[in-house]
Structure 1
Amino acid sequence: MPPTTLQAVLFDMDGTLLATEQYWDEALAELAAGWGGAVSAAALASTAGVDLDGAMEIVRRDVGVQRTPAQARQDAEWVLGRVTALMARSVTWQPGARELLTECLASGVRTALVTTTYRPLVELVLGHLRADLGTEPFEVTVCGDEVPALKPDPAPYLQALAALGLSAAECVVVEDSHTGSRAGLAAGCRVLVVPHGQELPSTPGLTVGDTLVGIGVADLAGLADPAVV
């Protein structure tokens, strides 16, 4: 059975469209250094797609420190402030991401941004993208502070589907992490993932790629439907 005609592409942000994951890594590494420790590359890689509280818990375990709830809140505020300062300067596209997004916009395929990052920071990033593209890049944006549950729960992608008025079979999710891929698959979508330092298990409906370079709308439209694999 051929896949349903592609109507929309739902993009993750950090690490997928943009090389902003490095800003979170930089801030978390600086946070660990402030505790007098050093976080491992493996621990940082495992924070991909994870919300800030979860990422800080990974770093705390890796470094071997304990923080009170009040200290954890202060840490979160510091990390958000640091990442905001870094993103305010500039953001960089992941290889092939700008070309894929602009092809979607030019061909009439609808677009959505579905991210764990909170709205204020997302709006900062969207300002950069609007200036670069000269247009509104996404019809729908769903942020981490606007959903009842975060990835890997399907709630963010289900919310985007509802806002678009489309079924999961009409959409493809583009992600960079195991956490995000699980969310997209759980929502019933086909998923293309370009992971960074993570190994993903073979799963129906999931296509693992090395890069977005050379990936176009036709490639996304041809991905296997998880319901028929």
Structure 2
Amino acid sequence: MTPVDSPSDPDQSLQAVLFDMDGTLVETEELWGEAMDELATALGGVFSAEGRQRTVGQSMRVAMQVLYDDLGLVRDDEQLRVDSRWVEERTATLMTSRGMPWRPGARELLVAVRAAGLATALVTTTPRRIAALVIDQIAADLGESPFDLTVCGDEVPARKPDPAPYLQAMVQLGVEPARCLVIEDSLVGVTAGLSSGAAVLGVPSVQPLERLPGLVLRPSLVDITVADLHQLLAERDFAPTT
């Protein structure tokens, strides 16, 4: 992107940037994958790379069903609940022991967005008790929380790819979808953002992203500026670019 000034029409300017968490701001997708691999081994199988990619950004219920299908297993609701809890707790342990490094360019962009006075939200499918580990680490690193609002997967009526989490954040922030930018790394997250009416910047991590109408793809957040985000919003009706 070529940096430009924000639009002269204040009714068309960018008001808020809504960030996904795992794989977008921090390097935690691999930890979720490792936990699911360990569960697959305990269940007597091996989780395929293709299956793992299909779980990225999904709710734990959907991710577990993908794993079971991949292994050729049938598990009842109680077994699914137990397995889901195990994966969540194992991932939390890995987060604590391994750390949660920033994704390339994410810290710099988040700081710049806050300095520009834009509203910010973290919108994640991860439940609050796990997401809090990341939220607290980010706040400690930056000296304060950079988010006006955080929305977690167990606090919404429906999870991504449903737009409900992003729409809930927009309502609470008091901003219109057409003046929001969503930053995501997964297909379900991109779908949720586009369905909410926001402009969407896709930065893939574990899961490749394909071109979609209204989606701008970039390999990373490195060197992306606030002016770039304004431009992306202004060009939201253009054909998708890479």
The answer, yes or no, to whether TM exceeds 0.5 is yes
Say whether 1:191 aligns with 2:194. no
Name the residue aligned to 1:103: 112
Q: Please give the alpha-carbon distance, in whole angstroms, between the structure 2 residues aligned to 1:61 and 1:196.
A: 23
2:181 paired residue among 172, 178, 182: 172
Q: Distance in 2 between matches of 1:3 and 1:60?
A: 48
Aligned length: 229
Does residue 198 of structure 2 align to residue 210 of structure 1? Answer: no
Change (3 A) 1:18 1:45: same
- Match for 1:146: what amino acid? E
Distance 2:221 2:46 in 1: 32
Identity of aligned residues (%): 50
Q: Which residue of 2 aligns with 1:36?
A: 44
SS of the counterpart of 2:125?
coil
Structure 2's unaligned 5+ residue stretches are 1-8
Task: Give 1:62 deviation, angstroms.
Answer: 1.1
Check conservation: 1:205, 1:224, Cα contact below 8 A.
no
TM-score, length of structure 2 as denominator length: 0.89
Q: What secondary structure does 1:192 align onto?
A: strand
One-letter amino acid matched to 2:203: V
For 1:78, which of 54, 65, 86 is the aligned residue?
86
1:102 deviates by 0.8
Task: Give 2:33's match in structure 1, choosing from 21, 25, 28.
Answer: 25
Aligned residue type for 1:124? L
Q: Distance in 1 between matches of 2:183 and 2:138?
A: 18
**2:160 corresponds to:** 151
Counterpart in the other structure of 1:219: 228
* Superposition CA RMSD, Å: 1.9
Aligned to 2:136: 127
SS for the counterpart of 1:15 is coil
Deviation at 1:202, TM superposition (A): 3.0
